[in-house]
Amino acid sequence: AHLFVIRNNGIRAYDVVSGEEVGSVNPSGVQFLNGMGSMSSDAGDFLVVSAFQAGRLHKIDVTSPANMTSEVLVASTGTTPNGVTIVDGQAYVVNWGNNADILQVDVATGEMTVVVNGTGLGNCDGIDYANGAFVVSSWSPQRITQFAEGTWEATTLVQGSPLSSPADLSINAGGDMYAVACRGNNTVYFGPLLDVSALEPIHVPATEATMTGEGLTLSTDVAGRWML
């Protein structure tokens, strides 16, 4: 198994047991490599890496970590691309700037589509996927937002303190927890995830729901006993 790291505008591969560097590749013409997504397929193992300042996406073949190769997947996104995650051969890219878009890019062909034309979020940084939804971090507002796949309906998971410039974001293998590195205060924030595909709407009179640091708090002015 190998760990792939962006370092000094290059990609480094490390053996996860020994910690030794086993290979590297430096894509040409980049100044700020930023986000990274990974995938394995019958064609091999690949990374998609965003070049922040150049507005470019690079495809890195890491099938042989000692002999990695790089090619340009999208020469110009027309945006400032940041975080990347890959789902079923499609790279999803969040972007810096006001009312930032979310892009979808076919990893095999480089064909690009704007799947969310204006998220209402500024300076999106990290993105990952689990349970039929994408989780996105943004700096303006400082928020973690969940977007349902297909409909792209947005749900706020947490906003404001203790988040501080939430950056790169990852979801655990179980799909029930995310972690985001907060650049503003050098901390890592951990938050729970709901399985949106398993949710069933019910109607409860005059009910309010609030997401807290410990979970979801429900309250109602109607007397009675409720079961969830």
Average pLDDT over residues 168-187: 95
pTM of the model: 0.84
Q: What would the pLDDT profile of 132-176 be if each residue is shown by its tens digit?
A: 999 999 999 999 999 999 999 999 999 999 999 999 999 999 999
Looking at residue 217, its pLDDT comes to 78
137-151, 196-210, 213-227, range with greatest mean pLDDT: 137-151
Asked if the model's pLDDT at residue 38 lies above 60, the reply is: yes
C-alpha 192/C-alpha 194 separation (Å) is 7
What are the structure tokens assigned to 131, written together? 């349970």
Looking at residue 218, its pLDDT comes to 76
C-alpha 118/C-alpha 101 separation (Å) is 5
Positive or negative, the Cα torsion across 55, 60, 65, 69? negative
Looking at residue 227, its pLDDT comes to 63
Looking at residue 149, its pLDDT comes to 92
Mean of per-residue pLDDT scores for the chain: 91
Looking at residue 187, its pLDDT comes to 96
Q: What would the pLDDT profile of 4-25 be if each residue is shown by its tens digit?
A: 999 989 999 999 999 999 999 9
Q: Which residue has the higher pLDDT, 187 or 200?
A: 187
Omega before residue 27 within 30° of 0, cis: no
Asked if the model's pLDDT at residue 212 lies above 90, the reply is: no
Strand order of the β-sheet with 177-182 is 166-171, 177-182, 187-192
Average pLDDT over residues 94-110: 98
Render 148-181 in DSSP notation, one character per residue. ETTT--EEEEEESTT-SSEEEEEE-TTSSEEEEE
pLDDT band at 198 (very low <50, low <70, confident <90, very high): low
